[in-house]
Chain A
Amino acid sequence: MESASVAVGHGHADHHHHGPPEANQSSRIDRQTLGILLFIVSEVMLFGAFFASYFFLRVVVDPPSWPPEPFELPKAVAGMNTAILVSSSFTVHYALESIRRGNRAGLKLGLVATWLLGATFLFIQINEYVHLGFSARDFSFGSIFYSLTGLHGAHVFVGLMLLTFATIRAFRGHFGPKAEDHLGVEVPGIYWHFVDIMWIIVYVTVYIL
């Protein structure tokens, strides 16, 4: 209605609308959520390429045991790290449920807890790299191990940056209970869940199977 009156360009509706007309939105989901959905689809393809390389190397190298003989992976430490990352999904969900109910303290608590859990995960992973005893130069196994876990670690880092912005905004009083008022937490939350799902797959594939 408003855009129609703007298109005509006459009448008192002009007083209410400044700048270019509203962008047309034909999709049933808002553009920010659609954007993160398309981004995640592209990320799935990126991880898929790395997993394809992993399985290709595993089949082609075909050692009697996996990981190959001198290498050993800390399953227990990585398992604990997995639990930390999965629990961070619960805290980001708690943060969003809180703001949906108008609980700003819960939002802040959830975001800070998620950030701390994510940072702990990254710290433990870097510590694991230091103590592993092999590098990305050590045969195809070392290369693909560091590529796959490093790719995921980079995603955790990006997720932490997004959470940092969301947390700063939360402490500045941004966001509200309406869906369109907390997209700044919803979109990083979706990304964070995706990073968690990818880690579960990486952990099961690389460390366990």
Chain B
Amino acid sequence: MKFNEAAVFKWVVIVGIAGALIVAVTLLTRPLVGALLLLAIVIAGCVYAYRWWRARKRH
């Protein structure tokens, strides 16, 4: 895993896009829908991180 400014900047872009999506959905619908989307993104992120960690461990 690389840890430098460029890698952290990618996370700013990822979190920014996710945040913009949640803001848009919440303002267009209800806060509950936005909260559920946030939960779905967090779960998807955890699953992706776990699968990435497992794949890295195998190599």
Interface residues of A (CB under 8 A from B): 29, 33, 37, 66, 79, 82, 86, 89, 92-93, 96, 186, 189-190, 193-194, 196-197, 200-201, 203-204, 208-209
Contact = CB atoms under 8 A, between A and B. Distances in A.
Interface string B23-43: 100110001001100100000
A51 B32 CA distance: 18
Contact of A200 (B3, B19, B27): B19
Contacts of A82: 19
Given A203-B19, A204-B19, A93 B9 contact: yes
A204 B9 contact: no
B5 A93 contact: yes
Contacts, number: 60
Nearest to A182: B5
Given A29-B3, A93-B5, A209 B12 contact: no
Contact of A37 (B3, B6, B35): B3
B5 A208 contact: no
Interface residues of B, number: 19
A201 B15 CA distance: 8
A197 B15 contact: yes
Contact of B12 (A66, A193, A203, A204): A193
A35 B15 CA distance: 23
Contacts of B3: 29, 33, 37
A209 B5 contact: no
B15 to A, nearest CB: 5
Interface string B5-17: 1101101100110
Nearest to A96: B5
A196 B16 CA distance: 9
A208 B30 CA distance: 10
A158 B9 CA distance: 19
Nearest to B19: A200
Which of A33, A200, A201 has the most B CB atoms < 10 Å from its CB? A200
19 contacts: A29-B3, A33-B4, A66-B31, A93-B9, A189-B5, A189-B9, A190-B5, A194-B8, A196-B16, A197-B11, A197-B12, A200-B16, A201-B15, A203-B19, A208-B26, A208-B27, A209-B22, A209-B31, A209-B34
